[in-house]
A and B are shown apart, each in its own frame.
Chain A
Amino acid sequence: MTAIGFSRGDLYYLLPELIVCTGALLLLLADVALSQQRQARAAWVAILSLGAAATLLAVMSASETTIARGTFAVDGFAIFFKLLFVMSAAVTVLLSHRYLTIEGGRPGEYYFLVLCATAGMMIMASGIDLIVLFIGLETMAVCFYILAGFLKPNRRSNEAAVKYFLLGAFSLALLLYGMSLLYGLTGSTALRAIATALASGSSGRLLAVAVMLLVAGLGFKIAAAPFHMWAPDVYEGAPTPITAFLSVGSKAAAFAMLLRIFFEGLPAFHLDGLGSVFGQPLGWASFFYVLSVLSMTIGNLAALTQTNVKRMLAYSSIAQAGYMLIGIVAGTPRGVSAALLYLVVYAFMQLGAFGVIVLMRREGVAGDELRDLAGLSSRQPAIGIAMLLFMLSLGGIPPTAGFMGKVWLFASAIEAGYFGLAVIAVLNSALSLYYYVRVVVYVWVRREEPGTPPIVLSRAMIVALAFAAAGTLALGVYPRILFELAQASAASLGRAEPMLGWLR
């Protein structure tokens, strides 16, 4: 009889997800129940439920256990990622508030989708079973397809939604095919059972095909070249706060899933075991090596020529995914924790940069072209300084967080013996400075065009941008806390055991 249903512990450890889902349902009801004037209150429901979830996550931050019959891990790794998702969702809500008023979308529906996507991401961070991971991914992806097309009268937004949906569905099919092959090879969908089953038998070529499909499917979600084609169009067309959330949350969630699958399910095949190419042993690190180099190079080269800031940041985010993959190629505890650390750093600077673009959206001004940023520093000096900070951080200049993140990533590559990769990364990093500094030039040197409407700061926007800027600076000056947190989280990967005691 104990095999059926959930125990008290299961429900306790699922509470953060349940709270986010309840908040989402309330928002859906609020959309039809509240009058037009009171719609703005929807944002409060979203913020409060995200806050409650974050508090609970902080309370259970020391736990290390698996629940729901070993399909769902609540460990440092999961909580690290979940806090990141909740944080970026909250910043997205803050950024969206005024943007939605200008664009005229319904806040209830919008925040409902944001919270549902967050719940999906949280499941992706905890799942240690292929099916749970896939359900989380689908939940998140479907919400993003709709959110990308949320500006219904906007053709670009529609285009973004259709492109993202079609390509996303295709990539999910690849991922699912890879998963089904893994299941076929091992007879289990639980990642640890897969690891055990693969350790005993030799599977060779078929496993290589499965890994390739998994890499392609996940590569799409993290927007790594050569699976990046969708990113610029979708990022440009989607509502700007959603672009921010997509580039931070969706990417981090896909990284969480990637780390779970490859470090818990296929740890033995890091460097070899998948056949050989040109006499060299082939492991999954080889695939990520190629992805990493391509992403960095293609992303940075393409970003150089962009005049639309959202598009430029899309290519930049492809390049950033390439940097993060370095930690995964290295595969050492230091590499994984560097990737985790960089995801947090990236969240702060990317949300901040997109926040400034959201701010530029006024009545009659789209605000996502480079020339729209001209003269920002003389109009709003504080925002000018914040943008300078975000751009320097994205480019990896001290004393910002981006610098510390890159130092750790590149050091992990050198430590693991990937000198070539480190050199390519450093060269790319130097190259990327050109287009980041170009934004700064527009903000600080160019003069504004006369007759453009004023930039109005709302309270929510100030909170969001101040938070992002504080994070970017604080983690650059004093990164130690995050270092330790990332290390502990990376170390907890694959260690959680089913719980004992009263909660059972």
Chain B
Amino acid sequence: MLRAYIPIFLFILVGIAFAIVTLIVSRLVHAEKANEVKLEPYECGIEPQTDARDRYSVRYYLVAMLFVIFDVETVFMFPWAVVLDRLALFGLIEMFLFVLILVVGYAYAWKKGALEWA
């Protein structure tokens, strides 16, 4: 049974070896010319404005959580769509019920003002 895991084991070994070899080789061949711009944290090419450890609104979390919930809903729909022809009418009703439950949650969040930004 354990034999089946040998390729995975090899894969891990190769992965670790690759990381170590790259780091060592680049350390050996690279040139060291540090300047101010190079040492700045990389932020998609935009110059950093402030320190990263700053206070920001708790609403980010709320929106992020709502996003995750409704995002997962969509993820669930993909496998359902693939096998819908075999699930037939039952599958269709089931998904409508699922979406209905989520709509209740959505309506609740909306009316509660969770989507408003102010």
Contact B108 A32 (CB under 8 A): yes
Does A25 lie within 8 Å of B87, measured CB to CB?
no
Please report the C-alpha to C-alpha distance between residue A430 and residue B54 in the assembled complex, in whole angstroms. 59
Instruction: In the complex, identify which listed stretch (B23-31, B32-40, B66-74, B99-107) lies at the interface while the others stay far away.
Output: B99-107
Residues of A contacting B112 with CB < 8 Å?
32
Docked-complex contact B87 and A4, CB < 8 angstroms = yes
User: What per-residue 1/0 map shows which CB atoms of A3-30 lie under 8 Å from chain B?
Assistant: 0111000000000000000000100110
Number of interface residues of A (CB under 8 A): 10
CA distance A6 to B101 in the complex (A): 19
Cβ contact within 8 Å between B90 and A5 = yes
Q: How distant is B43 from chain A, measured CB to nearest CB, in Å?
A: 33
Chain B interface residue number, banded: 10 to 19
Question: Nearest-CB distance from B95 to chain A (Å)?
Answer: 12
Which residue of chain B has its CB nearest to the CB of A29? Answer: B104
Bound CA–CA A6/B86 (angstroms): 14
Residues on the B chain within 8 Å of A33, using CB: 111
Beta-carbon contact of A29 and B94 below 8 Å: no
A4, B86: Cβ atoms under 8 Å?
A: yes
**Shortest distance between the CB of A34 and any CB in chain B (Å):** 11
Kindly state the separation between the CA atoms of A457 and B87 in the bound complex, as whole angstroms.
55
Tell me the nearest residue of chain A to B110, going by C-beta.
A32
How many Å from the CB of B15 to the closest CB on chain A?
Answer: 25
How far does the alpha carbon of A315 sit from the alpha carbon of B7 in the complex, in Å? 54
- Minimum distance in angstroms from A490 CB to a CB of chain B: 35
The residues of A that contact B104 with a CB separation of less than 8 Å are 25, 28-29
A33 CA to B112 CA in the complex, in Å? 10
B87 and A29 form a contact (CB under 8 A): no
Give every chain B residue within 8 A of A25 (Cβ-Cβ). Answer: 101, 104
How distant is the Cα of A410 from the Cα of B94 in the complex, in angstroms?
49
A107 to B105, CA, bound (A): 17
A31 touches B108 (CB 8 A): yes
CB distance from B98 to the nearest CB of A (A): 12
Q: Which residues of A contact B91 (CB under 8 A)?
A: 4-5
**Chain A residue nearest to B86 in the complex (CB):** A4
Interchain CB contact under 8 A, A28 and B108: yes
A33–B87 Cα distance when bound, in Å, is: 35
Which chain B residue lies CB-closest to A32? B111
* Closest residue on chain B to residue A112 by CB atoms: B108
> Chain B 60-94, CB within 8 Å of chain A: the 1/0 string?
00000000000000000000000000110011001
Q: Which residue of B lies closest to A28 (CB)?
A: B108
Residues from chain B with Cβ under 8 Å of A1 in the complex: 86
Give, as a whole number of angstroms, the nearest-CB distance from A203 to chain B. 15
Which of B86, B90, B108 is the one whose CB lies under 8 Å from A29?
B108
Q: In the bound complex, do residue A29 and residue B101 qualify as a contact, i.e. CB atoms below 8 Å apart?
A: no
Minimal Cβ-Cβ distance residue in A for B87:
A4
Q: Would you give the shortest CB distance from B109 to chain A, in whole angstroms?
A: 9
Pick the contact of B94 from A5, A28, A31 — CB < 8 Å? A5
Separation of A6 and B90 alpha carbons in the complex (Å): 8
Please, how many angstroms separate the alpha-carbon atoms of A5 and B94 in the complex?
9
Query: Which residues of chain A are within 8 angstroms of B94 by Cβ–Cβ distance?
Result: 5
Expressed in whole angstroms, the minimum distance between the Cβ of B84 and any Cβ of chain A is 11
**CB closest chain-B residue, reference A5:** B90
Which of A1, A32, A33: most chain B Cβ within 10 A? A32
Min C-beta distance of B79 to chain A, whole Å: 13
Contact across chains for B90 and A4 when beta carbons are under 8 A apart: yes
**Which residues of the partner chain A approach B90 to less than 8 Å between Cβ atoms?**
4-6
Residue of B nearest to A3 (CB): B86
**The residue from B86, B87, B101, B107 contacting A32, defined by CB atoms under 8 A apart:** B107
Q: Which residues of A contact B101 (CB under 8 A)?
A: 25
Query: Measured between alpha carbons, how far is A4 from B85 in the docked complex, in Å?
Result: 12
Closest 4 CB pairs of A and B: A32-B111, A5-B90, A25-B104, A28-B108
Taking A5-B94, A6-B90, A32-B111 as known contacts, 14 extra A-B pairs with beta carbons closer than 8 A to each other, sorted by chain A number, are A1-B86, A4-B87, A4-B90, A4-B91, A25-B101, A25-B104, A28-B108, A29-B104, A29-B108, A31-B108, A32-B107, A32-B108, A32-B112, A33-B111
Q: List 15 A-B contacts (CB under 8 A).
A: A4-B86, A4-B87, A5-B87, A5-B91, A5-B94, A25-B101, A28-B104, A28-B108, A29-B104, A29-B107, A31-B108, A32-B107, A32-B108, A32-B112, A33-B111
